[in-house]
Amino acid sequence: MVATMQRRSLDDVLEQLLKEAGSEFATVPVITRLVLRTGVNLKQPRPDQRFNQEAIGKVVAVLNDMGFLK
């Protein structure tokens, strides 16, 4: 199950999202909403956010609210 997979970095979250969405194009509006709601850009995360477990947790929570990574 995707939701229980270990997420060590935002790169892992992006990989899961891409698998679930089926295409990179489909993730564009999702990533835009993530930036607005969390301040985290999955495509180009800031170095201090890439491995930050708090940032990863925020992103995963918002993606869950949006119906992804369940």
| Pairwise CA distance, residues 29 & 1, whole Å | 24
Average pLDDT of span 5-15: 89
Element (H, E) at 27: helix 24-38
**Residues in CB range of 46: below 8 A, 6 or more apart:** none
Residue 70 has pLDDT above 80, yes or no: no
Q: What is the pTM of this model?
A: 0.86
Dihedral (CA of 37, 7, 11, 25) sign: negative
Share the mean pLDDT of the chain. Answer: 91
